[in-house]
Structure 1
């Protein structure tokens, strides 16, 4: 049996390390339960069935972070263009972390989504998982009259991806173990884009970064974007979001 229910939590503005620790706890709890259920299933004698039906949980976390740069496992430290003094001047922190991808920026006005899902409840295909998240963002942008898509060879969501004006509006980097996911996406809504000038974002040095605010020429309601994105994630994954 698959659990299509997903518990939604909005952590608001939260320190990156605090959010990482909370993610790790939820992730580890799901992996632990999944391992226990597998071992219990293997211990059932042939021809007998298990009496209880325990399902692994799923979570969808939304939040914002104070200014922070994070470097994925495949990233290059030199893609951070600030030293310790520069980070302090920008009131920013820096963390090498255990997701895929290169370096990125998080800050106020950016919507960060952390799906902690057991993909056995949905589909066991990490590439499809990323494409499904991208589609949810693309559909969210469409509701603001912004046409977005994918840039061949790169993960994330782009605008004008088919020409020299290509610019990235949503970055992605995930970790997956035993088909349980963590980390996720960062969606530039009202982000301070100047902070991207201090890195080689996602290791790409010849493409621009944008936001909904920049594309529309005005700020948008972040809570409204949260509701729209949450809806499109639920539709794309066929999930029932609780909370």
Structure 2
């Protein structure tokens, strides 16, 4: 089993271009797995972890409700944002500058074949990162992602998650609000959940800006420990 993960940092990149790139990596792993089964081979599959920051964009998961998007096409243009219906789980979310987005494209047969465990470890990675900044976070029952003050009237999400998996290969991933413009969340019902807020790391810390490179380093540190992997360039 291949426990190495190729780390790819795309910097700032258009959502659709990144989605197409994800699909290429995802399909390349599937192709190896299909060939292994057909030809009775045992070739190793690759794993990838893509960091990216998107321009303003709203994405709606395959099980989402389009009515959770509160802007029409003209209003989207005025906001300088785009909108895509995509093939991950979950409902609607926002991506934009100041948000760290990670797309682990993994063959889970290299690690463990359990999507529930995969999501919980992704959440735990973010919980540990936030703890380093003195922020206590956790899970909200029945709602994927990482929350502050879950189960109280002050519940607010700081990290959204949505994944797709086929033949145990994953794509899409997480979006951690670090220095996000939270006003863009006012244009949607985030994740289809009414009456709960959204926050970001800089707001919780009461600072203008958090070092995003430092946050990315912490994500990789805890992901390495929890998933027992090695990152390579």
Please give the range of the TM-score, normalised by the shorter of the 2 chains: over 0.9
Corresponding residue for residue 5 of structure 2: 6
Corresponding residue for residue 18 of structure 2: 19
Corresponding residue for residue 136 of structure 1: 125
Gaps of 5+ in 2: none
Which deviates the most, 145-154 or 53-62?
Answer: 53-62
Corresponding residue for residue 118 of structure 1: 107
Question: How much is the aligned-residue C-alpha RMSD, in angstroms?
Answer: 0.8
What do the CA deviations read for 1:74-94 (whole angstroms, capped 9, x no partner)? 001110000011100100000
Paired with 1:215 and 1:97, the residues of 2 have a C-alpha distance of: 30
What do the CA deviations read for 1:31-84 (whole angstroms, capped 9, x no partner)? 01111012222xxxxxxxx6xx52100000111000000000000111000001
Corresponding residue for residue 206 of structure 1: 195
Q: Of the candidates 195, 200, 225, which is equivalent to residue 235 of structure 1?
A: 225
Give the conservation status (yes or no) of the 8 Å contact 2:162–2:173.
Answer: yes
Q: TM-score, normalised by structure 1?
A: 0.94
Choose 1 or 2 for highest CA Rg: 1
How far has the Cα of 1:162 moved from its partner? 3.2
Give the conservation status (yes or no) of the 8 Å contact 2:14–2:54.
Answer: yes
Corresponding residue for residue 45 of structure 1: none
What do the CA deviations read for 1:157-186 (whole angstroms, capped 9, x no partner)? 001113211100000000000000000001
Q: Of the candidates 149, 152, 160, which is equivalent to residue 160 of structure 1?
A: 149
Q: TM-score, normalised by structure 2?
A: 0.98
Aligned pairs, how many? 232
Indicate whether 1:29 and 2:18 are aligned: no
Equivalence map 1:41-190=2 (5 Å): 41=40, 54-190=43-179
Give the conservation status (yes or no) of the 8 Å contact 2:32–2:43.
Answer: no
What do the CA deviations read for 1:88-121 (whole angstroms, capped 9, x no partner)? 0100000000000000000000000000000000
Query: What SS class does the counterpart of residue 70 from structure 1 fall into?
Result: strand
Paired with 2:71 and 2:19, the residues of 1 have a C-alpha distance of: 23
Indicate whether 1:193 and 2:192 are aligned: no
Q: Of the candidates 204, 208, 211, which is equivalent to residue 215 of structure 1?
A: 204
Query: What SS class does the counterpart of residue 141 from structure 1 fall into?
Result: helix
Query: What SS class does the counterpart of residue 99 from structure 1 fall into?
Result: coil
Paired with 1:191 and 1:8, the residues of 2 have a C-alpha distance of: 23
Paired with 2:27 and 2:142, the residues of 1 have a C-alpha distance of: 31
